[in-house]
Amino acid sequence: MQATALSSTLQGTDGLLVEVEVDLGHGLARFSIVGLPEGAVKESKDRVRSALKNGGYTVRARRITVNLAPADVKKDGAAFDLPIALGMLAASGQLPKDPLRAYASLGELSLDGRVKSVRGALPVAAAVRARGLRGLLVPPDNAREAAVVQGIDVIAVPTLTEAFEFLRGERGIAPSRVDLDAVFRAESQFAVDFSDVKGQEAVKRALEVAASGGHNVIMVGPPGTGKTMLAKRLPTILPALTFEESLEATRVHSVLGLMDGRSLIATRPFRAPHHTISDAGLIGGGSVPRPGEVSLAHHGVLFLDELPEFRTNVLEVLRQPLEERRITISRVVGSVSFPADFMLIAAMNPCPCGYLGDGQRTCSCTVQQVQRYRSRVSGPLLDRIDIQVEVRAVPYRALADQAPGESSAALRARVDRARQIQLDRFRGRPLFRNAQMAARDLRRDCAVVPAAGHLLEQAMDKLALSARAYTRILKVARTIADLDGSDPITTAHVAEAIQYRSLDRALH
């Protein structure tokens, strides 16, 4: 006796439909699962046996074979428990086979038959819709997330029994629905605001420029000057996520099981990994590759505090995603690409003790110690950071001032206007913001007035800037001009952009 249920496995951030073929036979007692199952999949047989027994179902077969097709793709996770159990019930004649061809299912089974949440419900739902199936049976905790995908019926089944009765037509379960407008209204609120920041007007201006053009930023300053506070508020002035961007970000979080009952990631992610993170944790990896922090920050902000404290090999792997906005992980079984389009915000002290250049405290570091400390961040990585800004200690008078600073809403309004200028400029090209411009785009869109060109030439000679630093200055100057509503790039725009190369100036 044989039956086939439909489920799905994950390949990167996409779902791949899997046929769960169940064969019940006679012979020596054996329950085998084939088709490249990982550990959690192999253990499904014990969970499924207990769930069926405790649910009052009897499957009279000594030899049970489960094949997960396609057989040459690795399968991991516990999401195959529910389809295996339903396939066994169909193969034993207790469940009609036709509904199993119309509905895919996924869910981990507890020993008493409850259906527990799994990873990747959103990409699985998208794969189900692409196959043209009627719907998807999911655990209740994954229902809102899967229901974001329109065009299929997402059925929440708390227990194996309810899934069984639904497929037999004995129990009616209404498909889950999500009001996307309500989700965005409820979740697009921030607990922090730039109005909380006292002083630091120059740094706030630099972050406004960065948000307007999508530029990477490094802040250099003594401890306690507000670098982390400023970085956490950057998402509040970035443009709101579009629905497509929200889906892309949600896919990554869904694959890692980080949705926590939410239906969508409705605000731009902010990720701040500790400096002890491994390169696999930052970029992604594993025998079955999974996304890392750079992908979790997709369409958001990746904040690296105490940048020189990160291991060199960890920082150097950032080069590819910073340039290509994707990360590719290769394994013996194949390569997987994850999205990694994020803004990098880094922070560091000016020296090991932290007080170099501080007007109130004396630095105890030698020149060699300072050079060794700063050399932990390689030149090629610094070249990929458009804006380098110094963060100074805030004087008492600014701290004691009770007047609120400029709000995030006001800053975001200017950022939105600058982004709209860029969208209009790049219409018909695969670009969205100034930070993405290539050499051809610079020649087309970054014309400078003669005096500004002369100033830039002097800066290049005096600071010995690299060719990449030159392009960064042009991109930042283009963004500053957009904020001013100016088509040509003037001397003032170039001068401000050069000021945002503080580490280059400090070395000369």
**Sequence-ordered list of residues with C-beta below 8 angstroms from that of 359, at least 6 positions apart, any chain:** 393
Looking at the DSSP bridge assignments, the partners of residue 66 are: 22, 33
What pLDDT, on the 0 to 100 scale, is given for residue 348?
Answer: 95
* Helix, strand, coil content of the chain in percent (nearest 5): 45, 20, 40
Please state, as a whole number, how many other Cβ atoms lie within 10 Å of the Cβ of residue 46: 11
User: Is-above-0.85 flag for pTM?
Assistant: yes
Beta bridge partners of 466: none
pLDDT number for residue 505? 53
Write the single-letter amino acid at 390. E
Task: Write the single-letter amino acid at 180.
Answer: L
Residue spans per domain, the chain: 2-167, 187-408, 437-508
The pLDDT value recorded for residue 234 is 97
Query: Mind listing the pLDDT tens digit for each residue in 19-35?
Result: 999 999 888 889 999 99
* pLDDT reported for residue 131: 95
**Omega before 70 within 30 of 0, i.e. cis:** yes
Give pairs for 417-424: CB < 8 Å, separation 24+: 417/483, 417/485, 418/212, 418/213, 418/479, 418/482, 418/483, 419/212, 419/239, 421/482, 421/485, 422/213, 422/482
Residues 8 and 131: their CA atoms lie apart, in Å, by 11
Q: How far apart are CA 366 and CA 45, in angstroms?
A: 64
Residue in the block written with tokens 């963004």: 479
Q: What is the pLDDT of residue 285?
A: 86
Phi, psi for residue 379 in degrees, rounded to 5:
-60, -45
Rounded alpha-carbon distances, angstroms, from residue 212 to 15, 191, 476: 34, 22, 10
For Cα atoms 453, 478, 443, give the angle at the middle one, nearest 5 degrees: 65
> Per the structure block, which two tokens stand in for 212?
């307007």
Res 333: pLDDT: 66
CATH architecture for segment(s) 437-508: Orthogonal Bundle (1.10)
Task: Give the pairing type, strands 343-348 and 2-11.
Answer: unpaired
> Dmax over Cα atoms in the chain, in whole Å?
89
Give CA 99 to chain center in angstroms: 36
Tell me the CATH number for domain 2-167: 3.30.230.10
The first and second tokens of residue 461, run together, are 């000679």
CB-CB contact of 169 with 356 (8 Å) = no
DSSP-derived secondary structure for 228-277: HHHHHTGGGGSPPPPHHHHHHHHHHHHHTT--TT-S---S--EE---TT-
Select 187-408's CATH number: 3.40.50.1820, 3.40.50.1100, 3.40.50.300, 3.30.460.10.
3.40.50.300
**How far is it, in rounded angstroms, from Cα 116 to Cα 327?**
31
pLDDT at 217: 97
Sites in the chain below the pLDDT cut of 70: 333, 396, 504-508
The DSSP secondary structure of 410-472, one letter per residue, reads: HHHHHHHHHHHHHHHHTTTSS--SGGG--HHHHHHH--B-HHHHHHHHHHHHHHT--HHHHHH
CA 49 vs CA 121, 455, 458: distances in Å = 24, 76, 76
Can you give the length of the chain in residues? Answer: 508
